[in-house]
Structure 1
Amino acid sequence: MAFWLGTALALYLGRVPSDALSTGLCSCGAVLAGCGLGVLAWAVRRTLRAAGGPSDDCGAMADARARRLLAPLPRPIEAGDVHVVSKRVFGEGRAHAARPLAGMLAALFLLGLSAGLAWGAGCACERHAAAESFSCPDRVCVELTTDSRPAGEGWRAAATICAGKFAGARVGVLLPPRVEPYRYGERLSGDASFLRADYATDERAWNEGVVGAVRLRTASEQSVDGIRGAVLEVRRRAVEALDAPGTDASAVLSAVVCGYRSTFADAKAAEDFRRCGMAHLVAVSGAHLAVVAALALSLLRAARAPRVLQVGLVALLLGCYLVFSAVPVSAIRAGVMCLLGLASIFARRRAAGLSALGLCVLAMVGLDPSAALSVSFALSALATLGIALYASRVAEAVCSRVPIAPRAVAETLGATVAASALTLPLSACLFGRLPLVAIVANALAAPLFAPLCAAGLLGALAAVAVPGVAGPIVLPGGLLSQALCLLAGALADLPFASVPVSLGPLEAVALTALCLVPAFLSGRMASYRPCASRSTRRGLAGLVALCCALGFLWGCWPAADLGTRMVMLDVGQGDAFLLQSEGASLLVDTGRYDNRLLQGLSHHGVTHLDAVLITHADEDHCGSLGALKGAVSVDRVLMARGVDQVVEPKVRRLVQTAHQVARDVGYLEVEDVVELGALRARVVWPEEVRDGYGNADSVCLDVRADLDRDGNSECRALFTGDAEAPQLRGFARREGLEDIDVLKVCHHGSRHGLDEGLARLLRPHIALISVGKGNRYGHPSPEVLALLEDVGARVLRTDAQGEVSCEVTVEGIAVSAER
């Protein structure tokens, strides 16, 4: 684990190339290695000294304490009594053994951390060098490493280059249009162009080890031979059989059985699973491999196959299933641990879960440094660690306190609680939400999961073998999948099924470390006797639980603030503005990144929204509307009048989502007013929906703040959505929009959003631009920035300043930025 932590830290810090940073990391690693060797030498010396028995001084002290304890006894004190009390009550031998072992553990941690820092720093340098020199010929061959997702008129996926100087390099690939999606494992060649990765602005490319992007103008498929090709063909047919109905249940079934998540990602069930903390069920991992191994072993034992043959065939089957499920990193971790467990049979030793996990982490991070920054790998490893440390203890506690509970129920609850204990801090930090129903949801889903995996896998293989009767064959799996979807939907619809939480990386790491303290004190992380009494361990475990609870409450507790402010939330390339006044809240657009939106709302203590206004139907303005369901209560969703008559699919989906999220859906037209405490937002555009609720139909608001209710506004702001210069010219002079205080710059600062005449007319004092760092659109344009500078506006951007808050008071506007 220390090696993993060191590698992740070095890669995280090494994203921006710096010789000084690389030298510093190597120096830090050397210092830590020296400290680790020193501590290790001390621990070995103490261990050798303790091997011959405790020193005379320590023994005399323990004997003296024992004699004082036995002094009140009426009978004479014998030497044997003193020895027994000294050994068993004062734990003399235990103290002498525990301290050197703790020193050894500390030394190994420091050595692992130093090795990880050195390894990560070296990998970071190699990755920068590869990206800077990356190029590809006019014609290139790639092999897809993920299933494709829609991207405009074509498709996008991850791939590796198959031949040439950069063979094996990871790239993002844009694929030409075709009816069927491209699937994992396909080998494609065609005419190509490329773009090198800019790690300074593209954090995702750095985390995944991608050296650039390749666009294939043409794509001809090449055959994949051997066992791998046969497995990929079976997978293709299985996905077609399972995903044929096109329902949420079929999308879940194909994701669970085949690891095919392209359809599931756009399904309604996906958001339900995320809200109730069940998203891991559709990510192929250890539970899936356990079902596959159990099925295989049952069949082989029924056939009375020799033990060695059973182990070999199960290992081969697990390898085939990894290919069948598109080789997700969480499944690789589980597969390596399964192979280590099978190897223990030949070694005639009992399988050790913690040792297997440690070897697996060391091997995967050593072979593929990108695994150190992989979210799925981190969650999978932490869940496995939690189960290994705490599952049996929780199950025993349930059985002892609830004797009527079946053992299977206690073990299921134990595994769920143990896995959640170590993964919740990280998932809350990454996804911006805390699913309050997660433990209940996973406990209820557990009885469905194993039968679903088994029935779905057997049904998929049977459907491939007998294509003509695929429907009836996959029906049992489909029914179980439908039951799982209904369970997730019912729990996700509960009030506050998940709550937004703002938890930073340091807080997440601290909470995770706190969760490991009880295991260390109880001796479950190493083979030594507990270094504290049972009452002490229970007290410390309770203290750890209290600290974790307080940490989560700190992240999601509502802030008691009745002021008036306009906040530009940092949601990447998109818009999300929070207007608050006297306890009321209005959200203007949601962006497209759920975790960023929920973290921003949690940061301002928002658990209830009086209204959400969607300016138009572009994904970067309304894509995260569904994420509010179950996390934040919403009274109304507001859109332009006439939107419910638009027949475009994305608009119809928007209206449907709005009805699912809020108690009421309203439609606005010009001159309608939304009252929000001291804020009064008046609609000034559009006069009617003509562009399919696109950019030209963006709802524009003239917002005024009258804090003292004297009829004079202390602040005037204009929110424009993605409307551009032609639309603004249509209402700016008519509405008298001159010398405004705050301007939400049109269309993320696009050069079509503002011209010189409008800039001189509006003359904003503060210009807000919500834009993603290093976006491919070139927003904001230099021309717009120059216009704003010429009229004296103070320009604030989320890509540069992060979240920006404009606090309105009777004295003026106080601006604060995240950075």
Structure 2
Amino acid sequence: MCEGEEGATRVASVSRVPDSSATRMPTRPAIPVTLWCLVAVILAERTVLRHGMSPSFDLLVTPTGVAASLCLAAVIITMLFRKRRDRGRDKHHVPVAALFVLAAGLAGALLGWLALARVTSAAEALSTSPVSAWSLEVEGDMAEGGRGWWGRAGVYGENGANVGTVWLSSPSRLECGSVVSCVGRFKPNGDDEWGVSSRMQGLAGTVSVVHVIASREADGPLGVVLRARKAVLASFSPDESDGAAVLAGSVCGDRAPIRSRGLDGVFATCGASHLVAVSGGHLAILSGALAALLGKTRLGPGVRGSLALGVIVLFIVFCGAPASAMRAGIMSCVSFGGSLVGRRSHALSSTCAAAFAMALLDPYVSGQLGFLLSVASVVGICLFGSYASYALDVLTRLPRHSGGRLLALAHGLGRLRSNACDALGVSLVAQLFTLPLTCPTFGEVSLIAPIANLVLAPLFAGLVSLGLGAAVLTPLPALQSPVLAAAEGVSQAFCKVLSTLARLPLACLTMEASAAPMLAVLCGACVALYVVWPVPRRRLLVRFAAVLACGAVALLLGLRLLQPARVCVFDVGQGDAILVADGSAAVLVDTGPDEAISLALTRQGVIHLDAIVLTHLHDDHVGGMDDLVGRVACERVLVAKGVAEKIPAELSASISRLSGHEAEEISYGDTIRAGSFSLRVVSPTEPVDGGDNADSLMLAVSYEHNGDELSALLTGDAEKDETAACLARGDVGDIDFLKVGHHGSEVSLTADEAALLDPEVSVASAGEGNKYGHPRKECMDVLAGAGSVFLCTKDVGDVTVRPGVRGPTVFTERTPGGSAAAMASAM
């Protein structure tokens, strides 16, 4: 134990040995000036590239300006602390370092303006000539999006000179490294967030391919490597299984099969996306294998290192030269170069020096999220990784044991625990340091990430090692076959564990947050911890962990058991998603068009769903299904009679990952219970295929408890004919609340139907500025004529309807000209 921990070390009356895994308290790490220079150059480049050629004092109130101010304050505090500590040894340390940081900031601003000028010039040049006059060289693997395939491409003129870089959109996939001539359209960047982000990454705009005139593969050594890669990918058959897809992504860097099989969402939920982005982890595994092989030779250290770096460079090219791998390779080269000139290895200095050089040579990296995430995570690990691991070690330290078999067992458990603490500490710090970047960008935090990375790391190392072996043996199918089979087996196990972790309740928490306050809190905590550097004490750590655990349990119980009875129509854009909840029971009717549903459920504090009902198979009603995996627990997914066999493969896979089994069918007259709510199927009366609006499940909702009542009709996209049939059969009559069919189109319902239903409040779900004009004036006039208060989610946000003794109480997320409370009282 270190001095000061848990008071003085007590001496037992019997012979005992300390835990073999005990570690020493880490010393406060030295912060190189290059770190502050790196921060200065990144902030200066981002500021110029984001806000243009004319920065002003208004920049100080932007997130970038706030970040710059916080980082400058951190520099000053840290420098002053070091000056006080080193008093008498280096009196000019602070002024000299400040000059270096100031120079780096000025250099970053100058380089940022030059980079901005290059993008602007490229956009002007590309706007004045036809796309068919250019040659487009595809950079890296293209990704499949909603409207075809997307990727980056370098643009070259007739003389072979590089004009610039663009986004390339194509209806079909274009191979990495291929040179394409095409007919298409060029659109320069706009002033929206997408355009600004593209400009910051050095992209002049987007080329949309209409027709490919000619395409040729890369030639020379690059072509040889890429053709070998293509052969390896073909032997892996990545489209046949999840394991093969992950193997192709991990070994060859081709993530398209992972995306096409819907696995990218599972990786994101578990915070494990970095595992299949070829980066430092892959290079570490490869370097370890090379060191083991070359260590058996008589070659000198310099020759061995040079050979290893050569193989690493070849591997990076083989993977399609992804930016993550190139960054990791450059950092490895810097570290190796330092060892060749006799400098001691210092991870933080090497990382900062490499990143600083990259930012100076290519200012556009400051606008690339991957670069920022890499730098933030490595810097955080270098500064506080060992401290976090030590704190976990103190918290989980095993009791001492006497000799014999218990001693051997204690040593084994101690080593295992120590390794787990190291891995967890590193993962927690990396995640913490990247939160100000990931939360504003992705709107979520993976709570399972530290555990997932700990559990998946051994399997990942195995599948990469075996996968590399299988790749090398591609020309020898007989030898490759058993190795490839073993690699796929490990990869399948990896996918199974990954899917299991992703389905755990609260594996991922959706969070809407701004970068500036998160960065302020992080900087303040880091400065305080660095200056004080307290010795972790077990008693305080246990109390802190107990408080966190009790708080988490109380929060879970509150979210799970204490929810009020309500029907909530979510604002998810041009789509439908309705929550029916009472206490611990909750049913979701449709999932909206995209990831907005996870944010909506977070707003309502929902962490568990008894069922999801998909009214029909249109994308605006089922598109958010995949995004729910890992964010909420769901017991079953229900569809209309006859629809289960018509569910698309991708949606079916999402349903299985979310609920653990396939969709179930419900028929006319069936009832779903959610606490005191009853949801009865009133349409369709016959089997359907779910492809038309008329196929929509219509649910008559009723609630009665302690005098509070509510009746409602949820219609999906059903229109006037289906509603008329329900009224004619007597399945529905006078109701309190109507979820208007088909987003409030002109054929949603007739005046007679509105009069028979006589809803007190009617809600349509539609997106702002939708091309259909929903909700239509005809529909609103019909409901107004029936005396119903009409609301639309695009105007008022989420609409929540609660049962009441004297009728429903309605709350809106936002109310034009008033407050939500005013709307509630008006009901």
TM-score normalized by the length of structure 2? 0.73
Amino acid at match of 1:475: A
After superposition, the Cα gap between the structure-2 partners of 1:736 and 1:22, relative to the gap in structure 1 and judged at 3 Å, is farther
Match of 1:263 among 252, 257, 266: 257
Contact 1:429–1:508 at 8 Å: present in 2 too? no
Match of 2:176 in 1: 184
Counting only pairs closer than 5 Å after superposition, residues 648-797 of structure 1 correspond to structure 2 as: 649=649, 653=653, 656-657=656-657, 660=660, 666-677=664-675, 679-703=677-701, 709=707, 713=710, 716=712, 718-720=714-716, 722-723=717-718, 744=739, 746=741, 754=748, 766-771=762-767, 779-782=770-773, 784-787=775-778, 796-797=792-793
Contact 2:250–2:278 at 8 Å: present in 1 too? yes
Deviations 1:465-509 (A, max 9, x none): 33566433423322332332343345456x537153535234653
Q: 1:418 aligned to 2:423? A: no
Contact 2:633–2:658 at 8 Å: present in 1 too? no
SS at match of 2:679: strand
Match of 1:316 among 307, 310, 319: 310
SS at match of 2:212: coil
Q: 1:578 aligned to 2:612? A: no
Tell me how far 1:700 sits from its aligned partner: 2.9
Identity score, percent: 26
Contact 1:36–1:108 at 8 Å: present in 2 too? no
Match of 1:587 in 2: 588
After superposition, the Cα gap between the structure-2 partners of 1:40 and 1:233, relative to the gap in structure 1 and judged at 3 Å, is closer
- For residues 134 and 767 of structure 1, the distance between their equivalents in structure 2, rounded to whole angstroms, comes to 47
Match of 1:502 in 2: 511
* Gaps in structure 2 of 5+ consecutive residues: 1-34, 399-409, 816-827
Amino acid at match of 1:478: E
Contact 1:500–1:599 at 8 Å: present in 2 too? no
After superposition, the Cα gap between the structure-2 partners of 1:622 and 1:380, relative to the gap in structure 1 and judged at 3 Å, is farther
Contact 1:141–1:189 at 8 Å: present in 2 too? yes
Tell me how far 1:155 sits from its aligned partner: 3.7
Tell me how far 1:348 sits from its aligned partner: 1.3
Match of 1:346 among 327, 336, 340: 340
Deviations 1:695-752 (A, max 9, x none): 44222334456676476x4x645442x4467656765777798998766555567x78
After superposition, the Cα gap between the structure-2 partners of 1:234 and 1:554, relative to the gap in structure 1 and judged at 3 Å, is farther
SS at match of 1:168: strand
Amino acid at match of 2:696: S
Q: 1:817 aligned to 2:825? A: no
After superposition, the Cα gap between the structure-2 partners of 1:726 and 1:315, relative to the gap in structure 1 and judged at 3 Å, is farther
After superposition, the Cα gap between the structure-2 partners of 1:337 and 1:35, relative to the gap in structure 1 and judged at 3 Å, is closer
Tell me how far 1:801 sits from its aligned partner: 6.1
After superposition, the Cα gap between the structure-2 partners of 1:360 and 1:345, relative to the gap in structure 1 and judged at 3 Å, is closer
After superposition, the Cα gap between the structure-2 partners of 1:146 and 1:706, relative to the gap in structure 1 and judged at 3 Å, is farther
Match of 1:304 in 2: 298
Tell me how far 1:601 sits from its aligned partner: 2.4
Match of 1:162 in 2: 155
- For residues 134 and 285 of structure 1, the distance between their equivalents in structure 2, rounded to whole angstroms, comes to 33
After superposition, the Cα gap between the structure-2 partners of 1:519 and 1:550, relative to the gap in structure 1 and judged at 3 Å, is farther
- For residues 753 and 91 of structure 2, the distance between their equivalents in structure 1, rounded to whole angstroms, comes to 71
Match of 2:58 in 1: 24
After superposition, the Cα gap between the structure-2 partners of 1:160 and 1:575, relative to the gap in structure 1 and judged at 3 Å, is farther
Tell me how far 1:187 sits from its aligned partner: 2.7
SS at match of 2:505: coil
Amino acid at match of 2:589: V
Q: 1:445 aligned to 2:456? A: yes
Aligned residues: 746
Contact 1:43–1:101 at 8 Å: present in 2 too? no
Contact 1:564–1:808 at 8 Å: present in 2 too? yes
Match of 1:488 among 480, 498, 505: 498
Match of 1:70 in 2: none
- For residues 386 and 327 of structure 1, the distance between their equivalents in structure 2, rounded to whole angstroms, comes to 26
Contact 1:2–1:110 at 8 Å: present in 2 too? no
Q: 1:357 aligned to 2:351? A: yes
- For residues 195 and 224 of structure 1, the distance between their equivalents in structure 2, rounded to whole angstroms, comes to 26
Amino acid at match of 1:162: V
- For residues 376 and 216 of structure 2, the distance between their equivalents in structure 1, rounded to whole angstroms, comes to 39
Please give the root-mean-square deviation of Cα atoms over the aligned residues, in Å.
Answer: 5.2
- For residues 121 and 789 of structure 1, the distance between their equivalents in structure 2, rounded to whole angstroms, comes to 52
Deviations 1:579-611 (A, max 9, x none): 3334532212224645x4434323322222232
- For residues 186 and 220 of structure 1, the distance between their equivalents in structure 2, rounded to whole angstroms, comes to 10
TM-score normalized by the length of structure 1? 0.74
SS at match of 1:145: strand
- For residues 299 and 358 of structure 2, the distance between their equivalents in structure 1, rounded to whole angstroms, comes to 32
Match of 1:228 in 2: 222
Contact 1:680–1:704 at 8 Å: present in 2 too? yes
Contact 1:646–1:652 at 8 Å: present in 2 too? no
Match of 1:53 in 2: none
Tell me how far 1:258 sits from its aligned partner: 0.9
- For residues 507 and 145 of structure 2, the distance between their equivalents in structure 1, rounded to whole angstroms, comes to 30
Match of 2:231 in 1: 237
Counting only pairs closer than 5 Å after superposition, residues 245-644 of structure 1 correspond to structure 2 as: 246-267=240-261, 273-365=267-359, 371-372=365-366, 374-393=368-387, 401=397, 404-405=411-412, 410-411=418-419, 413-424=421-432, 426=435, 435=446, 437-463=448-474, 465-467=475-477, 470-492=480-502, 495-496=504-505, 498-502=507-511, 504-506=513-515, 508-509=518-519, 512-513=522-523, 516-517=526-527, 520-521=530-531, 534=535, 558-559=558-559, 562-569=563-570, 571=572, 574-591=575-592, 593-594=594-595, 596-625=596-625, 628=628, 631-644=631-644
- For residues 395 and 480 of structure 1, the distance between their equivalents in structure 2, rounded to whole angstroms, comes to 28
Which stretch shifts more, 650-659 or 574-583?
A: 650-659
- For residues 272 and 235 of structure 1, the distance between their equivalents in structure 2, rounded to whole angstroms, comes to 26
Q: 1:147 aligned to 2:158? A: no
SS at match of 2:638: strand
Contact 1:197–1:205 at 8 Å: present in 2 too? no
Deviations 1:394-445 (A, max 9, x none): 5667778457147587346413422323315725676566555544443333
Amino acid at match of 1:482: Q
Amino acid at match of 1:446: A
- For residues 38 and 469 of structure 1, the distance between their equivalents in structure 2, rounded to whole angstroms, comes to 60
Contact 2:135–2:156 at 8 Å: present in 1 too? yes
Deviations 1:308-361 (A, max 9, x none): 444444333333322222333332331221111011023310122112222344
Tell me how far 1:638 sits from its aligned partner: 2.0
- For residues 70 and 587 of structure 2, the distance between their equivalents in structure 1, rounded to whole angstroms, comes to 54
Contact 1:256–1:282 at 8 Å: present in 2 too? yes
* Gaps in structure 1 of 5+ consecutive residues: 51-91, 522-530
- For residues 737 and 15 of structure 1, the distance between their equivalents in structure 2, rounded to whole angstroms, comes to 59
After superposition, the Cα gap between the structure-2 partners of 1:392 and 1:585, relative to the gap in structure 1 and judged at 3 Å, is same
SS at match of 2:566: strand
Match of 1:59 in 2: none
After superposition, the Cα gap between the structure-2 partners of 1:297 and 1:677, relative to the gap in structure 1 and judged at 3 Å, is closer
SS at match of 1:566: strand
Contact 2:743–2:775 at 8 Å: present in 1 too? no
- For residues 593 and 794 of structure 1, the distance between their equivalents in structure 2, rounded to whole angstroms, comes to 25
- For residues 363 and 557 of structure 2, the distance between their equivalents in structure 1, rounded to whole angstroms, comes to 37
After superposition, the Cα gap between the structure-2 partners of 1:358 and 1:462, relative to the gap in structure 1 and judged at 3 Å, is same
- For residues 123 and 741 of structure 2, the distance between their equivalents in structure 1, rounded to whole angstroms, comes to 34
Match of 1:58 in 2: none
Contact 1:353–1:388 at 8 Å: present in 2 too? yes
